């Protein structure tokens, strides 16, 4: 069966493991990989009936569901995939003795670069700023393609950004930035990405979805158990980076699993009120609006 899969340039997603192997093809699945700049663009592709499966942070998926899109998260993938980076002159949260207000005030008058509006990174940083009452003092500058952010830092346009572990490693090598808030401190257990599909696929192609999730979990386990080998595979698949880069990226945020844990769900549900307060969704979504657990339960993940 052909499977149209939307993915991002995010290197720690299992998409790059599955692209670099023939696991899906051997199982009779013919993948058609489609690259997007961010989660909101994947949601638009679902709306246009261009995708069967998407690798996506849960907040963009929740926005799509609120707008009437018939999609569900059927597997996890990774948690805590948002980090905050800055140029060397700024203090880390730890150096500020974990005082969130003191830490954030050093960025008054600056723009924080961020992936697209409505992405999980966007929601996390806007909520962080809002909680500290600094909405009028700190501006969030969204980029349609997160890959443009390191160049903006190198050009002196930006001094602080939020994004993926990949961004953190690229910017460290390219512009001498550092991580000022590690992933686990920004939003613990946040659903940095999951596997989302349409209700039509769940109804009509459950066997194919089950196979895909099984290989997705195999890829997650490969990353967890054979990190160096996985790094070499991903580097070879992408072709413009080396294995050391990928290995460093995996270490920034090492929680990979296709399972949907209670913590994954409860962290996702925390986003409901935040998305509502920020004006991204118009109603309170329930757990069953977002998740379909039949596949991870069948696979006992």
Domain termination residue (choose one: 186, 210, 235): 186
User: Do 102 and 180 fall into the same domain?
Assistant: yes
Same domain, 57 and 100: no
Sign of the alpha-carbon torsion through 277, 279, 284, 288: negative
Show the tokens assigned to 235. 């580097």
Over the chain (301 residues), what is each successive 10-residue block's mean pLDDT? 94 96 96 93 97 95 96 97 96 96 95 92 94 94 90 94 93 93 91 96 97 98 97 93 93 94 95 92 95 96 88
177 with 219, same domain: the answer is no
pLDDT number for residue 38: 86
Residue 240: its pLDDT value, please?
83
Domain end point (choices 139, 168, 186): 186
Contact 190, 79 (CB under 8 A): yes
Report the DSSP beta bridge partners of residue 112: 140, 160
What is the C-alpha separation between 262 and 295, in angstroms, rounded? 16
The answer to whether residues 59 and 200 belong to one domain is yes
Q: What pLDDT shows up at residue 144? A: 87
Model pLDDT, residue 45: 98
Give the residue numbers spanning the domain of 289.
2-80+189-299
Same domain, 87 and 76: no
The position carrying tokens 């307060």 is: 277
pLDDT value at position 275?
Answer: 94
Q: For residue 53, what is the domain's CATH number?
A: 3.40.190.10
Domain count, the chain: 2
pLDDT at residue number 37: 86
Residues 243 and 295 in one domain: yes
Q: What is the DSSP string of 33-88?
A: EEE-SSHHHHHHHHHTT--SEEEE-HHHHHHHHHTT--EEEEEEEES---EEEE-T
Same domain, 145 and 7: no
């Amino acid at each position: 069966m052909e499977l149209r899969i939307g993915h991002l340039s995010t290197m720690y997603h299992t998409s790059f493991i599955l692209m670099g192997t023939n696991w899906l093809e051997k199982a009779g699945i013919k993948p058609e990989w489609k690259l997007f700049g961010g989660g909101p663009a994947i949601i638009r592709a679902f709306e246009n009936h261009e995708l069967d499966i998407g690798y996506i942070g849960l907040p963009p998926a929740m926005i799509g569901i609120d707008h009437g899109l018939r999609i569900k998260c059927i597997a996890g993938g990774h948690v805590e995939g948002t980090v905050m980076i800055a140029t060397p002159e700024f203090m880390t949260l730890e150096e500020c003795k974990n005082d969130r207000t003191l830490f954030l005030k050093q960025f008054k008058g600056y723009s924080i670069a961020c992936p697209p509006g409505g992405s999980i990174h966007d929601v996390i940083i806007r909520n962080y700023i809002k909680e500290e009452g600094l909405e009028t003092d700190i501006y969030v500058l969204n980029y349609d393609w997160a890959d443009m952010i390191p160049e903006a830092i190198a050009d002196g346009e930006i001094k602080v950004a939020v994004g993926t572990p990949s961004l953190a490693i690229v910017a460290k090598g390219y512009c001498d930035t550092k991580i000022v808030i590690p992933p686990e401190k920004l939003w613990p257990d946040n659903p940095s990405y999951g596997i989302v599909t349409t209700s039509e696929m769940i109804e009509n192609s459950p066997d194919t979805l089950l196979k895909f999730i099984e290989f997705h979990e195999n890829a997650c386990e490969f990353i967890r158990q054979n990190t160096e080998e996985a790094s070499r595979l991903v580097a070879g698949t992408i072709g413009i980076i080396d294995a050391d880069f990928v290995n460093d990226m995996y270490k920034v945020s090492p929680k990979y699993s296709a399972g949907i844990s209670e913590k994954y769900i409860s962290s996702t549900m925390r986003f409901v009120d935040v998305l509502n307060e920020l004006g991204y969704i118009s109603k309170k979504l329930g757990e069953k609006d977002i998740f379909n657990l039949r596949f991870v339960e069948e696979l006992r993940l």
